[in-house]
């Protein structure tokens, strides 16, 4: 069998699986065709960052790239709605059943819009056949001025499924985080946090201490410290990981060295997502393909990663069982 045939069969297998996306920034996913349609003539090119060998110089360059797209496009709740419609259709096209996405407080602040308006715009774009949970993301220094008042009340927002901490890991964690995350937990919502992508195990521990969360976005750095690694297992923490993002941002120097393999082998629950697909040029099939072609994941192991996503999903037990039964049927036919 030729290499092309092998690659085609892998892609076909991955496409056949019902899947989850548990780490997606809506601003970093603005569809390229919408940019071309909205700004005629300005985006008639293929982004350099979509090349497989592309690497960002640093996190600031990456943020500037997002802002050059998202900062221009997202100027109203209506734009969020239109973008979300396209993004969610792509998920359906890839046989995705469940999505967790976040919108960023910095854009809310810049627009002068209310968070609930943007939340409603995204949720009203959810198509039949897809379950979507929407989170508000913020920076570690966002608790200031009017944003502090907003964050003190965010746990009361109807329809908001949770919160997430985004942004530069070099910004110190504020003690205010513990209060906001506790309010959200007590309101029955999900509270996640980005940690350990660049700053290592210390950052992961700080996030776990402050947020009491069982959902860490990235978390790569936990691999550097045995006690932190053990903590993930003991506290049953789920790592929502993004291999392509990590490689292109150079938090992992080579995909074959990505720690997802070690986490998985040790029993840490890991999921796979795209993070910011417009900025990295990736999709979910691409992410799972890397697991199989560069990290020696078998079909059964890929199914377990998918299963982890459904186990973490914020759905009722009947819905979860339906998805897990579908996976079990596929696995039994391998």
Q: For residue 197, indicate whether it is catalytic.
A: yes
Rounded to whole angstroms, what are the CA distances from 267 to 205, 237, 239, 288, 306? Answer: 19, 11, 11, 18, 14
Among 48, 197, 199, 331, the active-site one is 197
Give the active site residues: 197
């Amino acid at each position: 069998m030729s290499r092309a045939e092998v690659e085609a069969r892998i892609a076909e297998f991955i496409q056949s699986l019902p899947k989850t996306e548990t780490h997606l920034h809506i601003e970093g996913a603005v569809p390229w065709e919408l940019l071309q349609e909205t700004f005629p003539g300005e985006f008639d090119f293929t982004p350099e960052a979509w090349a497989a060998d592309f690497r960002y110089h640093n996190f600031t360059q990456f943020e500037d790239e997002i802002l050059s797209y998202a900062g221009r496009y997202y100027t109203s709740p209506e734009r969020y709605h239109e973008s979300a419609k396209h993004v969610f259709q792509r998920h359906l096209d890839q046989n995705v059943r469940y999505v967790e996405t976040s919108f960023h407080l910095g854009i809310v602040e810049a627009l002068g819009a209310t968070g609930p308006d943007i939340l409603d715009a995204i949720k009203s774009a959810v198509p039949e056949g897809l379950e979507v949970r929407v989170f508000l993301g913020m920076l570690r220094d966002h608790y200031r001025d009017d944003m502090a008042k907003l964050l003190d009340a965010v746990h009361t927002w109807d329809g908001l499924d949770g919160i997430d901490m985004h942004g530069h890991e070099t910004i110190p964690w504020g003690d205010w985080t513990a209060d906001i995350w506790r309010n959200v937990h007590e309101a029955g919502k999900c509270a996640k946090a980005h940690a350990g992508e660049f700053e290592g195990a210390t950052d992961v521990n700080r996030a776990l201490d402050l947020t009491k969360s069982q959902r860490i976005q990235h978390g790569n750095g936990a691999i550097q410290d045995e006690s932190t690694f053990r903590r993930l297992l003991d506290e049953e923490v789920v790592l929502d990981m993004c291999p392509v993002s990590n490689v292109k941002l150079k938090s992992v120097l080579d995909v074959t060295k990505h720690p997802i393999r070690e986490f998985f082998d040790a029993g840490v629950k890991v999921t796979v997502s795209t993070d910011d697909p417009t900025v990295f040029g990736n999709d979910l099939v691409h992410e799972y393909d890397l697991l199989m072609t560069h990290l020696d994941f078998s079909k059964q192991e890929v199914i377990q990663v998918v299963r982890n996503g459904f186990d973490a999903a914020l759905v009722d037990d009947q819905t979860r069982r339906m998805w897990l039964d579908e996976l079990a049927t596929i696995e039994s036919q391998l």
